[in-house]
């Protein structure tokens, strides 16, 4: 197909998406010249990725070790999923947009204007004049970061916020020290794959005593076909520092399934706090379950220092398959781990998500609030682990996982594992599954709301505990997202 024609077609797709069906407004494709490596995954591929990114030898060695370990592993099939085999040799592991005049990747000034436009369309303006105030953005497009905003402003207070590639180049000592310290490459199948082929991601370093003046955020966009996205995020919060980090993701609508296998590592030292929020809206496939992103993500935080705190807040509204268990290792005494999640599945989406809280230090506390909503023919599972080690005197946990079912073809499952090896631990776990209360709907309708409005309001209330943990703008976005997703599936 000639290029021009494809472009027109794509424009049309956006129009259709925004006007006729409000299913997925980010489903467009940007036609852009790319630099991609051939399909397949061998040691040669790893070398190629490493060379393209001008990486030092130690990084290459690490990738290679991970790859060799990955080859010994088999894909896990314990989650509650039903999907065909993934051909790891049929993917291209590196796809980068070509830059203007052959300038370096990762600099906004040399980035193709078409790309900037794409991000604007997604609601993420990158150019100087239009930048969002109060939020620094790292934009990741396919395999590379295309630019990071507000870097100079952050540098003034000593905060490092850049792409992973840049971090390996400019702060090798920090990357060497922390990369893989929370999620080692041998952790699981997808973490090993990611360690071998990761192409970019974000790196944040908050120095001692600094409260990061801006919200940091990364926007992930998959664009190219027959490729996967493998990014790695590393956030280190030094003593008494604080950072709030946001993550958003979208991809074009395609009939094929695409693989996304990311790793996120968080480290907090004494008295530090990281607040990590995600709104995940990858393309989830059509009504028949065709297409969509396979999202296999390993996210883990480690409260290394005393009194440190990590909180995960996630709104999972996309992806054909979500396999994600943001965890916290509570190693420092008095450290706190929190997990707030809303997982919405519609059409034929399958989500198996939850958290792990590993209590090691004394007086460690964790809170888990998970809300699952399943509609249409989707399958939504909560799978969590609360583990109290013998050293964790005075550990405390509260877990609550509620599921709501809309329609009689969907399913909701809860698999909470609770393992306690210390006699001073206090744990509470409660879970419920139910449908929307007919009385509540009737009451709202009697007050003049239509059915959809009533349901939307009830769902909003159902998820309130989680939404209130999200940063303001994100919360508004999340509410809208849920409303949009639920449209047409109720009533």
**Contact footprint for other proteins (CB under 8 A):** 78, 390, 403, 405-421, 423-435
| C-beta closer to other proteins: residue 133 or 408 | 408
| C-alpha R_g of the chain | 22
Query: Which residues have a Cβ under 8 Å from the Cβ of 128 and sit 6 or more positions away?
Result: none
DSSP state of 188: -
| C-beta closer to other proteins: residue 53 or 396 | 396
Least spacing, CB of residue 78 vs other proteins, in Å: 8
Least spacing, CB of residue 489 vs other proteins, in Å: 12
Least spacing, CB of residue 323 vs other proteins, in Å: 17
Q: Which of 407, 364, 403 is nearest to 386 (CA)?
A: 364
Least spacing, CB of residue 322 vs other proteins, in Å: 18
| C-beta closer to other proteins: residue 251 or 405 | 405
Query: Which residues have a Cβ under 8 Å from the Cβ of 450 and sit 6 or more positions away?
Result: none
| C-beta closer to other proteins: residue 59 or 420 | 420
For the beta carbon of residue 407, count every other beta carbon within 10 angstroms.
14
SS3 assignment, position 3: helix
| C-beta closer to other proteins: residue 163 or 378 | 378
Least spacing, CB of residue 419 vs other proteins, in Å: 5
| C-beta closer to other proteins: residue 260 or 383 | 383
Whole-angstrom CA distances from 271 to 178, 234, 235, 239, 354 are: 18, 19, 15, 6, 26
| C-beta closer to other proteins: residue 227 or 403 | 403
Whole-angstrom CA distances from 373 to 24, 341, 477, 479 are: 18, 11, 17, 13
Three-class secondary structure assignment of 361-410: CCCCEEEEEEEEEECCCCEEEEEEEEEECCCCCCCEEEEEEEEEECCCCC
Least spacing, CB of residue 276 vs other proteins, in Å: 27
State both tokens at 232: 């790695």
| C-beta closer to other proteins: residue 137 or 425 | 425
Are the CB atoms for 295 and 329 separated by under 8 Å?
A: no
For the beta carbon of residue 5, count every other beta carbon within 10 angstroms.
9
- The alpha-helical segments, DSSP class H, found in 36-137 are 43-52, 57-71, 113-121
| C-beta closer to other proteins: residue 179 or 410 | 410
Least spacing, CB of residue 381 vs other proteins, in Å: 9
| C-beta closer to other proteins: residue 327 or 403 | 403
For the beta carbon of residue 171, count every other beta carbon within 10 angstroms.
15
Q: HSE-up of 228 (CA within 13 Å, CB side)?
A: 27
Least spacing, CB of residue 399 vs other proteins, in Å: 9
Are the CB atoms for 332 and 304 separated by under 8 Å?
A: yes
Least spacing, CB of residue 192 vs other proteins, in Å: 21
Least spacing, CB of residue 396 vs other proteins, in Å: 10
Torsion of CA 368, 373, 379, 380, to 10 degrees: 0
Least spacing, CB of residue 388 vs other proteins, in Å: 8
Query: Looking at the DSSP assignment, which residues form a beta bridge with residue 328?
Result: 301, 357
| C-beta closer to other proteins: residue 177 or 435 | 435
Are the CB atoms for 97 and 142 separated by under 8 Å?
A: yes
């Amino acid at each position: 197909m000639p290029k021009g024609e494809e472009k027109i077609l794509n424009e049309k797709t956006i129009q259709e998406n925004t006007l006729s069906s409000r299913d997925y407004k980010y489903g467009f494709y940007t036609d852009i010249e790319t630099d991609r490596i051939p399909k397949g995954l061998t040691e040669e591929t790893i070398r190629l990725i490493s060379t393209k990114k001008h990486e030092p030898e130690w990084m290459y060695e690490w990738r290679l070790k991970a790859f060799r370990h990955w080859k010994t592993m088999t894909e896990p099939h314990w989650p509650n999923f039903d999907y065909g085999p993934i051909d790891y040799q049929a993917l291209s592991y590196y796809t980068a947009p070509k830059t203007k005049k052959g300038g370096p990747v990762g600099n906004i000034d040399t980035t193709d204007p078409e790309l900037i436009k794409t991000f604007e369309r997604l609601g993420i303006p990158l150019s100087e004049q239009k930048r969002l105030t109060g939020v620094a953005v790292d934009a990741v497009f396919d395999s590379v970061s295309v630019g990071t905003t507000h870097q100079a402003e952050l540098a003034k207070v000593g905060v490092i916020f850049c792409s992973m590639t840049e971090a390996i180049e400019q702060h090798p000592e920090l990357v060497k020290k922390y990369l893989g310290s929370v999620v080692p490459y041998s952790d699981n199948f997808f973490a090993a794959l990611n360690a071998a082929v990761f192409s970019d991601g974000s790196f944040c370093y908050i120095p001692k005593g600094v409260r990061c003046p801006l919200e940091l955020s990364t926007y992930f966009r998959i664009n190219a076909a027959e490729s996967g996205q493998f990014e790695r995020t590393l956030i280190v919060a030094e003593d008494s520092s604080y950072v709030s980090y946001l993550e958003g993701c979208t991809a074009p609508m395609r009939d094929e399934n695409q693989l996304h296998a990311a790793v996120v590592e968080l480290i907090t030292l004494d008295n530090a706090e990281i607040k990590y929020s995600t709104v995940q809206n990858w393309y989830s496939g059509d009504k028949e379950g065709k297409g969509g992103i396979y999202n296999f993500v390993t996210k883990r935080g480690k409260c290394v220092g005393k009194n440190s705190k990590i909180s995960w807040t996630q709104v999972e509204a996309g992806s054909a398959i979500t396999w994600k268990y943001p965890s916290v290792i509570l190693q420092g005494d008095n450290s706190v781990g929190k997990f707030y999640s809303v997982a919405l599945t519609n059409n034929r989406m399958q989500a198996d998500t939850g958290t792990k809280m590993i209590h090691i230090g004394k007086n460690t506390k964790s809170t888990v609030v998970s809300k699952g909503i399943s509609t249409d023919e989707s399958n939504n599972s909560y799978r969590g682990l609360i583990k109290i080690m013998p050293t964790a005197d005075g550990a405390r946990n509260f877990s609550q996982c509620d599921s709501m079912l809309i329609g009689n073809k969907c399913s909701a499952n809860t698999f909470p594992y609770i393992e306690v090896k210390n006699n001073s631990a206090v744990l509470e776990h409660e879970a419920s599954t139910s449908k929307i209360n007919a009385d509540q709907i009737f009451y709202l309708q009697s007050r003049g709301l239509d059915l959809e409005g009533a349901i939307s309001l009830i769902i909003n209330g159902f998820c309130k505990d989680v939404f209130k943990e999200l940063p303001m703008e994100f919360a508004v976005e999340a509410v809208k997202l849920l409303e949009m997703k639920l449209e047409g599936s109720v009533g």
